[in-house]
Chain A
């Protein structure tokens, strides 16, 4: 069965500092992996997704994530945080050929301090 664990329900960084949001997954088959961002009272927006091409995936707004099979991880990073990055971030997994079920992690709220 698939599962996603996001380490840290809240992460606080200073503006300009490195953002690191952690995600570990469990999947019995090679997975698709996603990071979504959610701003208050809005829907989810895709930041990036891993579909078995390059293990380092670049997304929108300067975010990237690296797929590490040996560590079953897909951590999200951004070199320099901006105030506008403050939001909730969800890691998600779905199985290849497994239909349309996506499992979301519990989310990590990112705070950016001026």
Chain B
């Protein structure tokens, strides 16, 4: 089945130690998103890639970076995690027809990040 895969499902890191979260997709979608979801809150968009074009949300901290080496993979890098970065990180994909209208997003299961 085509899907969005996130690894690992749970990640423990130390305060200030760089961490990378991975997302891969077999849907061949051209748009990929990263969301941060804190406990009992709505998902908050951090950034998205439209093909190779990176689009950062204005309020996303510089501590968060992303890479998309090819269509299938996208990475979220947290350069110096703080305690406030502990959250669920959700990857999503969508297929854009080019009209830049919102198509259905398909979400991965998420990676829960714990910062010690």
Contact flag A49-B104 (CB < 8 Å), given A43-B4, A90-B43, A106-B41: yes
Q: Which B residues touch A100, using CB under 8 A?
A: 31, 33, 48, 50, 55, 94, 96, 100, 102
CA distance A95 to B101 in the complex (A): 8
Number of interface residues of A (CB under 8 A): 25
**Cross-chain contact B42 with A107 (CB below 8 angstroms):** yes
**Cross-chain contact B101 with A45 (CB below 8 angstroms):** no
Which residue of chain A is the closest to B43 with respect to CB atoms? A104
The interface residues of chain A, by DSSP majority, are classed as loop
Q: Mark A41-54, 1 if CB is under 8 A from B, else 0.
A: 11111100100000
**Cross-chain contact B94 with A44 (CB below 8 angstroms):** no
Q: Which B residues touch A104, using CB under 8 A?
A: 42-44
**Cross-chain contact B40 with A107 (CB below 8 angstroms):** yes
Q: Which of A99, A102, A106 contacts B105 (CB 8 A)?
A: A102
**Cross-chain contact B104 with A46 (CB below 8 angstroms):** yes
Q: Mark B28-58, 1 if CB is under 8 A from A, else 0.
A: 0001010000001111110010100001010
